[in-house]
Structure 1
């Protein structure tokens, strides 16, 4: 089996995705200070062909230059270039879905100019996103491979040090139609990418299997390349069986686009976001029944009761820790949280199925026109990034006869070793379960801790073992209070 050179810069970095676009739905803003405040070491943005070259040969560098002006050596840049265009692609749109270029050479020339503009400043370049999802790439696997080859040639010519990212693999990449798409791409594009992007939605406990499945897909093609996580986030409604019955009419009204094909009569999602989507009325009806919904559905409804909103905040915070530990233990060294916040103030996504599914995953929100309000998960990401700073390895330690006990050891050569642990319980009702008496070998005379919600803890050390009552809330345990 061929193993390609791992060119990802050394170390572990937690990052964040700005959103589905940057400077497309509104004026490009300064947002890197917020990213840095979260402790993120990598940031990903989406740029569209339509916004950079709206007409043949006429370039608008406003968003690109605004982004570059904010970058420094402390944050890696990842740019996903989306092939949406009114004039240059098979399907005419300025937003979604991107589609194959009419002429790959023209697309390559566009990519070459963008990468040259950013040479030396952007570490990762990605050709579109989730090419197996029709609303994110309206083309065949063969068309994607053709486009990827033109993209990669342009990137490597313009900035040989940059890395090319294979378009993100969604949670279903190991089965069904998604698997067939990625099998074809991996078999026909071995030399056309440097890292494989896998997205972690659905149950966090499936992350190790998701990583292994993608490695198996590459192995079947005869090679291995590094895996990164360009998106992760949870909880989302489809994790909860109680939500399925409520989601079905919404997804059916939308045209079945989530995880399915693109209906022949589906109209493009354009930058005119005030246009009513087909699922609007189904979501209006669902939200009107908010008081009758179960907590695991209720918490995703905009302006839901405070208790449901607080429940989602707690689940979201715990999820940030759990997904990162599983991914890092599986050998993934870059993880990017979806997402920093809405694209613009008052973005009208309330009555869109994608908004219902993913909007509550935002880390921040606008307040008085500025992206300043932080949700609890933002604080958890900052805490997790701090605790994992300078980490070189994360390993899960199995606990005999306790399969629901999850323990991870984190190597930090220049800091005290770190232990992260929690108990798996049902997401909504598990908070009421009694704690588990957690004991683990401990190399120091003292121990300090903090949980995923930022609460300081007081673990005990006795006879070279740490003792702590463990719950569903992940805890960070170290011998040093500042760690």
Structure 2
């Protein structure tokens, strides 16, 4: 789902590939896993490939050659190329190592496909939840964004944890980019740790309302209540220009959103305790409770 200059609803498929799959021996490439994905994906589906390594790869020139060959092999089919997944977690190395890695990755992707977009290695959600607390992973990303603005196109923020912290995390991360003299579109490459249908709706609405440009649901089951919730959300968002929260006087627990450009609104009440149901609210003649509900807007 996209929320930039109008919401475009469609299908995106994210695939994570390790270097050992792609280059089992130096200079010998194996595209079989890549070709399987390309063969199973139609032209209307956006593809996102995350390329991972165990650590900063030895022989960076060889790694760059592999990435360039892979991107060229995909021949424009893959729009997004991500350099590692959550590289700040200690498995990759120091921030300086990732900076060098990202610069080489960006150059290799651009050489293979000048129109492809490079996604910064995903940022874990918690590190921008409270910027006043010391956090070595946040320091990692702060160093990267201060030095590598020219070497990636999109900032990926994973949206796990408390959904109501999504706007806070996005704003704090945006503030960090602005302080570095940079602005990037935001994308959410993963969410859905709860496998909960209501959470899928709420998390997407919260993300879209604060300008996240893409959301990708992690391991969405083929047939499940989560899939049904996602499908209905996509239907309600068709033609939408923006998602904007409506302030309800004296009800800070009311999360009512206007889906601008459509006939719909969506709303729910924040449940502060796991058992107690919040006092209901009547909105547009419809009773709103703790589960998301779609309402026709009075326009």
Give the TM-score, by structure 1 length: 0.58
Rounded Cα–Cα distance in structure 2 between residues aligned with 1:55 and 1:184: 33
Rounded Cα–Cα distance in structure 2 between residues aligned with 1:333 and 1:427: 31
Rounded Cα–Cα distance in structure 1 between residues aligned with 2:64 and 2:229: 40
Match of 1:436 in 2: 280
Match of 1:317 in 2: 197
Match of 2:218 in 1: 338
Deviation at 1:469, TM superposition (A): 1.3
Deviation at 1:45, TM superposition (A): 0.7
What does 1:278-289 align with in structure 2 at a 5 Å threshold? none
Larger radius of gyration between Structure 1 and Structure 2: 1
Other structure's SS at 1:199 match: coil
Rounded Cα–Cα distance in structure 2 between residues aligned with 1:71 and 1:117: 15
Rounded Cα–Cα distance in structure 2 between residues aligned with 1:156 and 1:196: 17
Deviation at 1:103, TM superposition (A): 1.9
Of 185, 193, 207, 2:144 maps to 185
Rounded Cα–Cα distance in structure 2 between residues aligned with 1:197 and 1:46: 15
Match of 1:157 in 2: 111
Deviation at 1:407, TM superposition (A): 0.6
Structure 2 vs 1, CA of residues 427 and 105 (structure 1 numbering), >3 Å: closer, same or farther? farther
Match of 1:385 in 2: 234
Q: Can you list the C-alpha shifts for 1:91-122, whole angstroms capped at 9, x where unaligned? A: xxxxxxx2101122111111001100112111
Contact 1:317 1:377 in 2 (8 A): yes
Q: Can you list the C-alpha shifts for 1:204-258, whole angstroms capped at 9, x where unaligned? A: 00000010011011011111111011111243xxxxxxxxxxxxxxxxxxxxxxx
Structure 2 vs 1, CA of residues 421 and 12 (structure 1 numbering), >3 Å: closer, same or farther? same
Other structure's SS at 1:333 match: strand
Tell me if 1:119 matches 2:78. Answer: no
Structure 2 vs 1, CA of residues 69 and 400 (structure 1 numbering), >3 Å: closer, same or farther? same
Rounded Cα–Cα distance in structure 2 between residues aligned with 1:220 and 1:434: 39
Contact 2:190 2:218 in 1 (8 A): yes
In structure 2, runs of 5+ residues without a counterpart are none
Match of 2:31 in 1: 61
Match of 2:168 in 1: 209
Rounded Cα–Cα distance in structure 2 between residues aligned with 1:319 and 1:336: 14
Tell me if 1:42 matches 2:12. Answer: yes
Match of 2:85 in 1: 129
Structure 2 vs 1, CA of residues 339 and 46 (structure 1 numbering), >3 Å: closer, same or farther? same
In structure 1, runs of 5+ residues without a counterpart are 1-7, 15-39, 84-97, 236-312, 341-362, 365-373, 440-465
Deviation at 1:72, TM superposition (A): 2.5
Contact 1:11 1:333 in 2 (8 A): no
Q: Can you list the C-alpha shifts for 1:63-104, whole angstroms capped at 9, x where unaligned? A: 111111122232111110112xxxxxxxxxxxxxx2101122
Of 367, 370, 376, 2:225 maps to 376
Contact 2:192 2:200 in 1 (8 A): yes
Of 50, 69, 73, 2:43 maps to 73
Of 270, 278, 291, 1:473 maps to 291
Of 153, 164, 167, 1:194 maps to 153
Other structure's SS at 1:338 match: coil
Other structure's SS at 1:160 match: coil
Contact 2:146 2:180 in 1 (8 A): yes
